[in-house]
Amino acid sequence: MPAVCLYFQVHQPHRLKKYRVFDVGHDHNYFNDQSDTDLNNRRVLTKVAHKCYLPANELLLELLKKYPGFKVSFSFSGVLLEQLEDYSPETLTSFKRLIATKRVEVLSETYYHSLAFLYSRAEFTSQIRLHQDKIRDLFHVTPRVFRNTELIYNNAIGRHIENLGYQGIIAEGADYILGWRSPNFLYRPLGAQKIKLLLKNYRLSDDIAFRFGERSWAEYPLTAPKFAGWINAVNGNGDVVNLFMDYETFGEHQWQDTGIFEFLRHLPGEILKHPDNSFVTPSEAVRKFPARAELDVPNYVSWADIERDISAWLGNPIQDDAAGKLYALENSVLRAGDPQLISDWRRLQTSDHFYYMCTKWFADGDVHKYFNPYNSPYEAFINFMNVLQDLKLRLTTLTPAHAQSPGT
């Protein structure tokens, strides 16, 4: 009787425009690229909205009406929500319509889709609170289950999130943390009391997210009945199959002509054909199913690359340098108290900036190149550091007295 838990990640960063050393001290607008490239945030967002968000939302709404037992969940980054407000209000409205059905759950995350936990617990917590407020304002709901940026997780994150009052947390069901165990049960983070851990079934999730349109794949073409058969095979062998993926899978990563929307259209019906199957949201799964065992995850795990660790964002010298110098400004930026400066500093924390600096070209080159709007990781680093230089300059000219009373 496996339940299926669908969670879609919805995120777009504020990409930095081309910013040369000559711009430092002269131009403080870092995110307003107007070109025809993928550095133009409005352009990217509008494109993704039309290829993915709007048609997928429409389809989900139809499916929710058709199947009373169908449920899904979303996690929205705060920076994505800002961009929807600015560039595509109609998309925001369509998400609101979905959430109003009460069968669409919204998860908690860091507002800036950041790596803050790795650098500052205080900043991490602040960003979760900012996100909670944003979700309440827009959707009038309060998330109970947390997912960290890119499913980055370890024991310490599990315990920290429990202390913040969450009932559940989501992570990657990587082989090296599970060993012989199955991702289709709930677990308890090591040292935690109540909070439950939901693990992504990465094989079944990635069959949809990564392999769906791949003609060289032995299972190509993947149909809804075939996939439902794989879900049924879990029967008696697990409580819940967690299918977690980027929402952009539908229409953006897998283009419409792969048949991905038709797959989604038929999936709920095929899964519900089996009387033992059902759909749950993450907080329902936490309520319904027990934690079967304690799971020890001492090192960071994530859902990225073949390593499923944090090496997509941190670890090479330019990534560590950029992130280290950014977080070193925490106290002085917050003390300066300038809302624009704080917002810019936090937008620079979005994990994508560090992903663009990844130099693991050889194993995962394709994926990183596809998602990198800069020509190289080095260009991304140079750009980022120039912006950071300007931000520092603003910080030094911004005395606290000055910030409080602009007239003096």
Partner 1 sequence: MPLKVLMFGWELPPFNSGGLGVACYGLTQALSQQDVDITFVLPQKQNVKADFLRLVFADLPKFAWPDMNPYLTSGLGLKTLPGDAPKDLIDAVRRYALAAAELAQKLQFDLVHAHDWLCFPAGVAANSVSGKPLVSHVHATEFDRSGGSSVNSVVYGFERQGLSQSTAVIAVSNFTKNLLTKFYATPGSKIDVVHNGINADDFARPTSIQDALAPLKARGFKIVSYIGRITLQKGPDYFLKTAQLVLRYDPKVIFMIVGSGDMEKQIIEEAIGLGISDHLLFAGFLRGEELRQAYRSSDLFIMPSVSEPFGITALEAVAAGTPAIVSKQSGVSEALNHVLKADFWDTEEMANQVLSVISYPSLHHTLQANGHTEVKKVSWQAAAAKTIQVYQKVLGRK
Whose Cβ is closer to partner 1: residue 320's or residue 330's?
Answer: 320
**Dihedral sign for Cα atoms in the order 262, 199, 99, 95:** negative
Number of residues interacting with partner 1: please give it, by CB under 8 A: 19
**Which residue's entry shows tokens 């390593």?**
307
Q: Which of 61, 230, 376, 393 binds partner 1 (CB under 8 A)?
A: 376
**Minimal distance, residue 398 CB to partner 1, in Å:** 23
Q: Does 21 contact partner 1 by CB under 8 A?
A: yes
Nearest approach, Cβ of residue 119 and partner 1 (Å): 17
- Write down the catalytic residue from 105, 150, 162, 248: 150
Least distance from partner 1 to the Cβ atom of residue 376, Å: 7
Taking CB under 8 A as the criterion, the residue among 34, 378, 399, 404 binding partner 1 is: 378
Is residue 300 involved in binding partner 1 (CB under 8 A)?
A: no
Closest CA to 323 of 335, 311, 305: 311
> Rule CB under 8 A: is residue 65 a binding residue for partner 1?
no
Which residue lies nearer to partner 1 by CB, 36 or 137? Answer: 36
Among 375, 396, 405, 408, binds partner 1 (CB under 8 A): 375
Q: Give the shortest CB-39-to-partner 1 separation in angstroms.
A: 15
Cα–Cα dist 44/48, whole Å: 6
Q: Does residue 382 interact with partner 1 by CB under 8 A?
A: yes
Burial class (CB in 10 A: 0-12, 13-18, 19+), 176: exposed
Q: Identify which of residues 256 and 316 has a Cβ nearer to partner 1 in the complex.
A: 316
Q: How far is the CB of 378 from partner 1 (least distance, A)?
A: 6
The reply to whether 27 sits near partner 1 by the rule CB under 8 A is no
Measured from the CB atom, the residue of 19 and 227 that comes closer to partner 1 is: 19
Closest CB to partner 1 among residues 118, 295: 118
Instruction: Decide: is 385 part of the binding site for partner 1 (CB under 8 A).
Output: yes
Least distance between partner 1 and beta carbon 317 (Å)? 4
Concerning whether 262 is annotated as a catalytic residue, the answer is: no
Residues 321, 343, 371, 395: which binds partner 1 (CB under 8 A)? 321
Span from 37-45, 80-88, 130-138, 371-379 in contact with partner 1 (CB under 8 A): 371-379
- The greatest distance separating any two alpha carbons of the chain, rounded to the nearest whole angstrom, comes to 72
If binding is defined by CB under 8 A, does position 363 make contact with partner 1? Answer: no
Scanning 247-255, 293-301, 313-321, 397-405 for contacts with partner 1 by CB under 8 A, the matching segment is 313-321
Cα distance between residue 327 and residue 123, in whole Å: 9
- Between 17 and 147, CB nearer to partner 1: 17
Which is nearer to partner 1, 232 or 316 (by Cβ)? 316
Q: Which stretch binds partner 1 (CB under 8 A): 46-54, 259-267, 296-304, 310-318?
A: 310-318
CB of 261 to partner 1, least distance (A): 36
Residues with a known catalytic role? 150
Interface ranges with partner 1 (CB under 8 A): 20-22, 316-318, 320-322, 359, 361, 375-376, 378-379, 381-382, 385-386
